[in-house]
Amino acid sequence: MNLQEYFIRIGLQGSFDKPDLETLKLIHKQHVMSVPFENLSMHCGERHILDLEFTFNKIVRSGRGGWCLENNSLFGWVLREMGYDTTRLSSRVFNSITNEFSPIDSHLIHKVVVDGKAYIADVAFGVSFQMWEPMELVFGKDQHQAAGVFRFIDKGEKWVLEKTSRKTKVLNPDFAESSLVKRQETRTVYCFTLEPREVEHFYEANDTLQTDPKSLFMNKSIISLQTATGFRALAGWTYSEVTFKPEEGVDVFDLRNIEDEEKEQVLLEKFNIKLQKKLQIVSNKTWYTL
């Protein structure tokens, strides 16, 4: 494993010797624009393996994506190799149907300290809840990014990530009432504490996410990738292209269902992904929204 291979994977050339905020923002944004958030391995008869060398080979050398435990594990290694002061943290994702946080620490994020200021780096949440740049770790400050306004809320012992979106404009009337389309403008995303975690802390969650029948990832195959103007996603059979239009105060959703014979072409052309095994798309109804 070496950094140059990773930089090539995310479309960067040259060396980055100074672990400063500008470089952190650059590699964070390049990662989310180049490496998809996806759970396709488990729907190809494979497993998501929480091992750094395995993940490096999968994402960097095989051109795949991964879910948060894979993407953010890799990104944490990159930060440490570059000399950043980084701490691995765990978080619990908010379920908008039950109105509760997950009972398990299923999401991995990083605290990064640069010039005495702390930031949260997270390259693997996907869709409209994906931050493009690290967020300053302060309570109550509106932090404007391409996808909307993010902020951290003080909940006593917990930090809570919240996001306010723009209004939604759905182009295809067949999807006007789709459960995939977000309705609330302000949403809770996840909560976390600042307790440092070792990678072993996530082993059980990594297994649960791909074996528990109630797991979101068992019930829907998902891949998403950020673009210069928004993001693309294939959630179950529904392909979407979302364009952020802050000047108009809307996000434009263009959704359609694909056919089985289209899936390989969509994965290659829209996400630059070529799977080695046949994908079995899963599209059960869940709480997942774009």
Hey, which residues are catalytic here?
68, 107, 122
Q: How far apart are CA 148 and CA 275, in angstroms?
A: 32
User: What would the DSSP string read from start to end of the chain?
Assistant: --HHHHHHHTT--S------HHHHHHHHHHHHHHS-EE--GGGTT------HHHHHIIIIIS---B-HHHHHHHHHHHHHHHT-EEEEEEEEEEETTTTEE-SS--EEEEEEEETTEEEEE-----GGG--SS-EE--BS--EEETTEEEEEEEETTEEEEEEEPPEEEESSGGGTT-TTS---SEEEEEEE------GGGGHHHHHHHTT-TT-HHHHB-EEEEE-SSEEEEEETTEEEEEEEETTTTEEEEEEEEPPGGGHHHHHHHHH----SS-----B---S---
Single out the residue of 287, 288, 240, 234 nearest to residue 264, CA to CA.
234
User: Measured between alpha carbons, how far is 10 from 59 in angstroms, rounded to an integer?
Assistant: 10
